[in-house]
């Protein structure tokens, strides 16, 4: 459904293009050029259509309002970084909400039993929560490499680091995540 919305040619209807200020047309072309890749990345991070739509919208609103409508020097890197940060914020809000609505002690014991540990949704949500807690440089690499399934070269290019540094950051992140997930048991 969201894919259809992205490919919809209504964005490029003459009336809309004319109504958009000349200095903001680059935002529409950026949406068209990078939108599908961005949605794919957001979907892998968030796993929820509504959250993906919200993150996508927030990303391009921030792009349109970047320094008073000025175009960033590296638009693709800016868009993916902002989307990554927006997605992490959504995950953090989701975790905070879950903690606020904490399960009673009896239900908590049921969550810890071996049967529920195999619940893929529970494991995904737990792992996403821990990814959100990673330091930013590690979180960005894990998000782009593992969730968005980009190569180390692509990750390095987007983050402005070498592919080797991206590998080292990912290794550190995986080790930290393993320690945190080990505490869950």
Domain at 170, CATH number: 1.10.10.10
For residue 10, give its domain range.
1-102
pLDDT attached to residue 168: 93
Domain termination site, one of 53, 72, 102: 102
Query: Do 12 and 84 sit in the same domain of this protein?
Result: yes
Q: Output the pLDDT for position 8.
A: 39
pLDDT in tens, 44-69: 888 888 888 999 988 888 887 877 76
Q: 129 Cβ partners below 8 Å, 6+ apart?
A: 91, 94, 95
Q: Which residue has the higher pLDDT, 84 or 123?
A: 84
Alpha-carbon distance 51 to 43, whole Å? 8
The count of domains in the chain is 2
Identify whether the C-beta of residue 20 lies closer than 8 Å to the C-beta of residue 69: no
47 and 128 housed in the same domain: no
- The Cα 78–Cα 63 span in angstroms is 8
Does residue 71 or residue 105 have the better pLDDT? Answer: 71
Among residues 67, 84, 102, which one ends one of the domains? Answer: 102
Residues 96 and 7 in one domain: yes
Asked whether the predicted pLDDT for residue 72 surpasses 50, the reply is yes
Q: Please indicate, yes or no, whether residues 4 and 76 belong to a single structural domain of this protein.
A: yes
Average pLDDT, the chain: 78
35/86 same-domain check? yes
Q: 111 pLDDT band (50/70/90 cuts)?
A: low
Q: Percent of the chain at pLDDT above 70?
A: 75
Please tell me which residue, 145 or 66, carries the higher pLDDT value. 145
> 128 and 97: one domain?
no
């Amino acid at each position: 459904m969201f894919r259809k919305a992205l490919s919809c040619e209504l964005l490029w209807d003459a009336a809309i293009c004319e109504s958009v200020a000349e200095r903001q047309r680059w935002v529409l072309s950026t949406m068209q050029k990078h939108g599908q890749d961005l949605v794919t990345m957001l979907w892998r991070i968030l796993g929820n259509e509504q959250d993906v739509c919200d993150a996508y919208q927030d990303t391009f609103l921030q792009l349109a309002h970047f320094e008073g409508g000025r175009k960033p020097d590296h638009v693709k890197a800016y868009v993916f970084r902002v989307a990554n940060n927006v997605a992490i914020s959504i995950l953090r809000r989701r975790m905070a909400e879950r903690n606020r609505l904490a399960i009673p002690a009896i239900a908590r014991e049921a969550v810890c039993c071996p049967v529920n540990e195999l619940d893929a949704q529970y494991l995904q949500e737990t792992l996403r929560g821990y990814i959100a807690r990673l330091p930013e440089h590690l979180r960005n690499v894990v998000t782009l490499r593992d969730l968005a399934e980009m190569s180390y070269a692509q990750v390095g290019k987007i983050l402005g680091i070498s592919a080797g540094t991206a590998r080292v950051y990912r290794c550190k992140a995986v080790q930290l995540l393993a320690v945190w997930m080990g505490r869950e048991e």
